[in-house]
Amino acid sequence: MAEPLDDYIDAVTKALALPVEEAWRSSIRANLEVSLRLGRLVDEFALPDETEPAPVYTV
């Protein structure tokens, strides 16, 4: 039975020309589920529109 993320994985695989084999799918799906769950945790946090990314400390 197809998993909820399978169509999405198929679409991105095609869009990025990634050679995903069927045997890797469940592991990729499991990793993507963790990333999306943690991404949602970040997404839920309200930030002001003016917030800038902060990659580097300045002196």
- Residue whose tokens read 């800038």: 52
- Candidates 1, 4, 22, 45; binder of another protein (CB under 8 A) is 45
- Candidates 3, 6, 14, 36; binder of another protein (CB under 8 A) is 36
Residues with Cβ within 8 Å of residue 20, at least 6 apart in sequence: 9, 13, 28
C-alpha distances out from residue 37 to 31, 32, 33, Å: 10, 8, 6
Query: Which residue number, 1 or 50, has a Cβ lying nearer to another protein?
Result: 50
Give the interface with another protein as residue ranges (CB under 8 A): 8-9, 12, 16-21, 24, 27-29, 31-32, 34-36, 38-39, 41-43, 45, 47, 51-57, 59
